[in-house]
Amino acid sequence: MAKMAGGVERHPHIPARALLDRVVLGGSDGVIECMAMTAALNGASIAPATILLAGLGLAVAGGVSMLFSSYLSRRSELDSLRMDAERERMEIETEPEEEKAELEGLLRGEGYEQKEVDVIMARVTKDKEMWLRAQLDHELHLHIEDLEAGQAGRSASAGAAFTLSALVALVPYALGWAHAPALALSVALSAAALFVLGSKAFAYRAFHPRPGLESAAVGVFAALLLFVAGLLLGRL
């Protein structure tokens, strides 16, 4: 990895990647759900004021749901990862030769020469914590840091992103626009928000336009689909 003088990395990694992923997940869900729902209500010729009220309810309820579901899913994931780590720790204690052979095979599979494998094994097996880290990294692609990461911040970020992003689709209804222009502006603003979220345009060195375009296309398609569904239901 290229570094500048003094050990400062010249091309730093994206900071808080996991937190950023939660923001993108929550924000994208919020935009798509609110845009699709308001499009359906618009298609059914529901009054703009009612659409606005329903959208606000969705934004708040969806944000709370996203917060708690994200927290619970992450907690379940961490519990499973901790069980894997404890199993590896136990196997190092009770089956050291088997674990050594397994790690050596993994290192060779990654392209290390036998001399390099011997050097690595001689070093990591002197320290069981280092050995555990190496075993988790190469066998399960798991890092100890993953088990120590806080859950609350990520979950809160997902919930907040859902609520704030959902509000984007409600702007024209809050302005009191009529059905057709409100729908057009709502979809346009929501598609723009999805592009920003999907492309990570707000994150330093993380911008990639293609995922943003794909996210926007999915959102517009969902809005169109629900609008047609609203039209059909409104005629019943």
List pLDDT tens digits, range 7-49.
444 444 444 566 788 888 899 999 999 999 999 999 999 999 9
Q: Classify residue 2: in a domain, yes or no.
A: no
Please give the pLDDT value at position 150: 59
Provide the percentage of residues in the chain whose pLDDT is more than 90: 46
Q: Based on the structure, what is the number of domains in the chain?
A: 1
Question: 3 - beta bridge partners?
Answer: 9
Q: Classify residue 125: in a domain, yes or no.
A: yes
Q: Classify residue 23: in a domain, yes or no.
A: no
**229 and 43 Cβ atoms separated by less than 8 Å:** yes
List pLDDT tens digits, range 187-215.
999 999 999 999 988 776 778 899 999 99
Q: Classify residue 35: in a domain, yes or no.
A: yes
Residue 73 predicted with pLDDT over 70: yes
Q: Classify residue 135: in a domain, yes or no.
A: yes
Token pair recorded at residue 58: 């969705």
Task: Identify the sign of the CA torsion 216, 218, 224, 229.
Answer: negative
- Cα distances from 221 to residues 1, 33, 68, 116, 122, in angstroms, run 42, 12, 28, 53, 57
Cβ-based neighbours of 208, under 8 Å, separated by 6 or more: 199, 200
Distance CA 164, CA 85 (A): 37
Please give the pLDDT value at position 128: 86
pTM above the 0.85 mark?
no
Please give the pLDDT value at position 7: 46
In the numeric block, the tokens 């990395």 are attached to: 9
Residue 144 predicted with pLDDT over 70: no
Residue 235 backbone phi and psi in degrees, to 5: -95, -5
Please give the pLDDT value at position 58: 96
Q: Classify residue 16: in a domain, yes or no.
A: no
Distance CA 45, CA 183 (A): 11
Residue 107 predicted with pLDDT over 60: yes
Q: Classify residue 11: in a domain, yes or no.
A: no
Q: Classify residue 9: in a domain, yes or no.
A: no
Range of the domain at 219: 29-234
